[in-house]
Structure 1
Amino acid sequence: MQNDTIEAIRAHAAEEYPRECCGLVLVVKGRERYQQCTNTAQGTEHFVLPAEEYADAEQLGEIIAVVHSHPNAPAQPSQADLVSCEASGLPWHIVRVDLVDGAPAAGEVVTIEPSGYRAPLVGRQFSHGVLDCYQLIVDWYAQERGVTLPQFARADEWWNDGKSDLYTEGFPLAGFAKLPNGALLEVGDVILMQIRARNDVPNHAAIYLGDGLILHHLHGRLSSRDVYGGMWAENTRAVLRHQ
């Protein structure tokens, strides 16, 4: 990147601190340019770049890179960064931002490029909408069954917005059907659970692996294999099977 672009990125990162900034590097009429975008994510731990702003940037010029910041953290990519970089097909620039003498200051910039990275099924870091319980099911079906499940938008904390029932509505569109109560579990069945959802709807999903084990990714934890029982069974609201 050109020095002017890097400085524009650093300025934006410092301006948005302690939230993550996000933006795009464009080539417009033969010149490199940094385009600031709006981070619509809740909280300060990740970013969501609006699709309409991405589309607007495409009308301005050619998008050649995605940018975001890591406040109070190294500019090294997270698993979610690596996965999202692969999905975008573009280089990603990550800038570190820290408080220096009481003021935010942007520092090192690390660049990553698509390289075929694939997050492990067990031990992946949680990032809602990128590496979460639904994405784990998508990846398991792709790797174990060769089945491509559709994606659907998952707003932050949709289960607390007073209206959404995303999993009840979304899984049938992905080819899953609800099993009758008491049906014997088979490998690959999806177990829908309700975990602290104000909407009183299922908001967590697990894959049944057989032998009493489930594979799942709970908010704020690493993905893991666990025994299906106890709180997981108590909070189960439905069991689905891919058709």
Structure 2
Amino acid sequence: MSPEIEAAIRAHAVAEYPRECCGLIINEGGRDVYVRCRNVAAIGRQGDHFVLSKEDYFAAADRGELLALVHSHPDMPARATQADRVSCEASGLTWFIVRVDGTEGSVEAAEIEELTPSGYRAPLEGREFYHGVLDCYALVRDWFEQVRGITLPDFARRDNWWGDGSGEDLYMKHFRSAGFQPVELEDLRVGDCFLMQVRANVVNHAAIYVGDGKILHHLYGRPSRHDIYGGYWREVTRLVVRYSGS
């Protein structure tokens, strides 16, 4: 990284504080340059710390070869989170993370750490929650890939789609197109999924039956975990579905 690009990244991180900045390093006409991009993540919702504007991404790609993605960690170490590592793998790009601290009106950018794709996969149990990257549906997708070797489709989903008044009902809309069919609770098998309605007007949570009366699931804002299926979880279950192929 050249001193010019490093200075540009630090300036962007300071300018965007306390929000996370995000940008891209591209090679434009044989010269590496840093391109500031917009963070279009919803403000005030856990799990969406930065979402790089699609329009800015494609505009940068039209200008030159994409080399790296950059974002900041306000008041946090530049160490990669699980979501950073998962997203880095998906992007196929090198990532740079810059720490930026603000105290008593002074904002300063600190260390910059590099992250490269290395085959990382988040653990199924104890993973952090980052909506759209590591959430209940991501856990379902990862379980089927790691345990069954099945790749489920992904679906675009905004944070709080279940409670923002939009009327979206994503699980009920997409479970059949993802290869699932309804089954009876009495015929429960390992790998069946419970579609649940947790403090919402629509189905907004999924859990995987892993046997011995237990489910694996990932609640909003909490680490993924195993729980005994019954009681509250049975009360909020609206449908049981089984993968049968797309």
TM-score range, shorter chain: over 0.9
Secondary structure in 1 matching 2:190: coil
Task: Tell me which residue corresponds to 1:97.
Answer: 100
What pairs up with 1:228-239 in 2 under 5 angstroms? 228-239=229-240
Distance in 2 (CA, whole Å) between partners of 1:133 and 1:90 is 25
| 1:203 matched to 2:207 | no
The aligned length equals 240
Equivalent residue, structure 2, for 1:138? 141
Whole-angstrom CA distance in 2 between matches of 1:242 and 1:52: 35
Deviations 1:31-86 (A, max 9, x none): 11111111111236611112232111110101100111101100000000011111
In the TM superposition, what is the alpha-carbon distance from 1:100 to its structure 2 partner? 3.6
How does the TM-score come out when normalised to structure 1?
A: 0.95
1:172 aligns with 2:176: yes
SS in 1 for 2:145: helix
Tell me, yes or no, if structure 1 residue 49 matches structure 2 residue 49. Answer: no
1:196-222 Cα shifts (integer Å, max 9, x gaps): 22xx10111110011110000111111
Distance 2:9 2:197 in 1: 41
Task: Find the counterpart in structure 1 of residue 160 from structure 2.
Answer: 157
Aligned match of 2:242: 241
1:190 to 190, 193, 199: 193
Task: State the match for 1:217 in structure 2.
Answer: 218
RMSD: 1.2
Provide, for residues 165-219 of structure 1, a one-character-per-residue CA deviation record: whole Å limited to 9, x for no partner.
1111122211111224x4421110111111122xx10111110011110000111
Shift of 1:29: 0.4
- Aligned partner of 2:243: which letter? H
In the other structure, the counterpart of 1:30 is 30
Partner amino acid, structure 2, of 1:80: A
Q: How many percent identity over aligned positions?
A: 57
The amino acid of 2:42's aligned partner reads Q
Secondary structure at 1:130 match in 2: coil
TM-score of the two chains, using structure 2 as the length reference: 0.94
Query: Deviating runs (4+, > 6 A) in structure 1?
Result: none
Matches within 5 A, 1:117-136: 117-136=120-139
Mapped to 2, the partners of 1:232 and 1:57 lie a distance apart of 46
Q: Aligned partners of 1:227, 1:126: CA distance in 2, in Å?
A: 20
